[in-house]
């Protein structure tokens, strides 16, 4: 076994969660640059500030709006996620999020839920249109990029941090290269340790960001918090983005279909808290 290389690490809070960056053969300054990138992009993608790029897009009432290159890439990734999941991962979830009371960061507490007008989400391609440098969101709808953005950002961060690095943004992570010992990056998945090389991992759960009977993970088929019979899914896949899409899709599919779905799409998977939906 080759000698273990020294790992530079950097931890910080951003995107409403804990973030960790690791790299072999890079300076700490490089990791701090990564933190700044996360903060800058996070400020553009948040729906909790009215002047963010995402909030302006959501409030553009169907008009075309100029968007940044990163925003365009993430929105295109959101459309890919929708297609990959046959509609189960749908970022056109903002009206449902607001209806269940998730109107502000949960550290400030949820608002009162008003579920009366909630229904199935519209197809994302009907809500979101993208052209080079521009996008529009249909009037009366809205998008929340959530975990799709975190997985996408983890993948991008690893590209920037170097060929042997790992980015973990609130549990959505990407690991590239052979890790510190040459055997991959040792990553905890559901209590076990797996060596990841050029692979991502993500966890989707209804156990966190929960208040009373409500939680943040919306089932696009109902527009309401998911009740599928699985409480948490962790997945290893080819990228952080793919892992996020597969984990959320599996959770929404429920305990009968999720094992088959994961066997076809994921490299490793854990289904937790399964019960009759």
Site residues for other proteins per CB under 8 A: 7, 9, 16-18, 20, 22, 166, 168, 170-173, 179-181, 183-196, 199, 201-205, 207-209, 232, 234, 236, 243, 259, 262-263, 266-274
Nearer to other proteins, 163 or 273 (CB): 273
Q: How far is the CB of 131 from other proteins (least distance, A)?
A: 33
Q: How far is the CB of 158 from other proteins (least distance, A)?
A: 13
Nearer to other proteins, 82 or 270 (CB): 270
Please tell me the total number of residues recorded for the chain in this structure: 277
Task: DSSP letter for 226, please.
Answer: -
Burial environment of residue 268 by CB neighbours within 10 A (0 to 12, 13 to 18, 19 or more): middle
Nearer to other proteins, 90 or 205 (CB): 205
Q: How far is the CB of 160 from other proteins (least distance, A)?
A: 18
Q: How far is the CB of 166 from other proteins (least distance, A)?
A: 7
> Hey, what are 48's tokens?
């909790």
d(CA 239, CA 86): 19
SS3 179: coil
Q: How far is the CB of 48 from other proteins (least distance, A)?
A: 16
d(CA 134, CA 104): 27
Nearer to other proteins, 57 or 217 (CB): 217
Nearer to other proteins, 13 or 66 (CB): 13
d(CA 30, CA 21): 10
Q: How far is the CB of 114 from other proteins (least distance, A)?
A: 26
Nearer to other proteins, 60 or 195 (CB): 195
**E strands present in the chain:** 7-14, 17-24, 65-66, 128-131, 134-137, 165-169, 172-176, 185-189, 192-196, 199-205, 210-211, 214-215, 218-219, 224-225, 232-237, 268-272
d(CA 229, CA 251): 8
Q: How far is the CB of 207 from other proteins (least distance, A)?
A: 6
SS3 119: coil
Nearer to other proteins, 18 or 68 (CB): 18
């Amino acid at each position: 076994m080759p000698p273990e290389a020294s790992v530079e690490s950097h931890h910080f809070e951003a995107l409403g969660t804990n973030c960790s960056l690791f790299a072999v053969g890079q300076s700490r300054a490089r990791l701090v640059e990564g933190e700044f990138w996360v903060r800058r992009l996070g400020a553009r993608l948040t729906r909790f500030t009215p002047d963010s790029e995402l909030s302006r897009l959501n409030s553009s009432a169907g008009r075309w709006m100029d968007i940044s290159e990163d925003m365009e890439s993430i929105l295109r990734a959101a459309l890919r996620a929708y297609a990959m999941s046959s509609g189960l991962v749908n970022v056109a979830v903002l009206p449902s999020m607001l209806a269940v009371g998730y109107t502000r960061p949960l550290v400030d507490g949820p608002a009162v839920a008003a579920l009366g007008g909630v229904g199935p989400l519209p197809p994302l391609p009907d809500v979101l249109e993208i052209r080079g440098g521009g996008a529009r969101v249909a009037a009366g709808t809205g998008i929340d990029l959530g975990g799709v953005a975190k997985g996408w950002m983890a993948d991008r961060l690893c590209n920037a941090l170097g060929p042997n690095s790992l980015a973990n943004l609130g549990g959505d992570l990407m690991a590239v290269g052979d890790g510190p010992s040459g055997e991959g990056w040792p990553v905890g998945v559901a209590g076990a340790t797996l060596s990841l090389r050029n692979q991502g991992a993500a966890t989707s759960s209804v156990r966190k960001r929960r208040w009373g009977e409500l939680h943040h993970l919306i089932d696009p088929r109902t527009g309401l918090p998911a009740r599928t019979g699985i409480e948490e899914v962790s997945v290893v896949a080819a990228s952080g983005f793919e892992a996020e899409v597969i984990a959320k899709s599996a959770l929404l599919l429920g305990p009968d279909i999720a094992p088959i779905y994961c066997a076809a799409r994921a490299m490793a998977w854990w289904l937790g808290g399964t019960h009759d939906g």
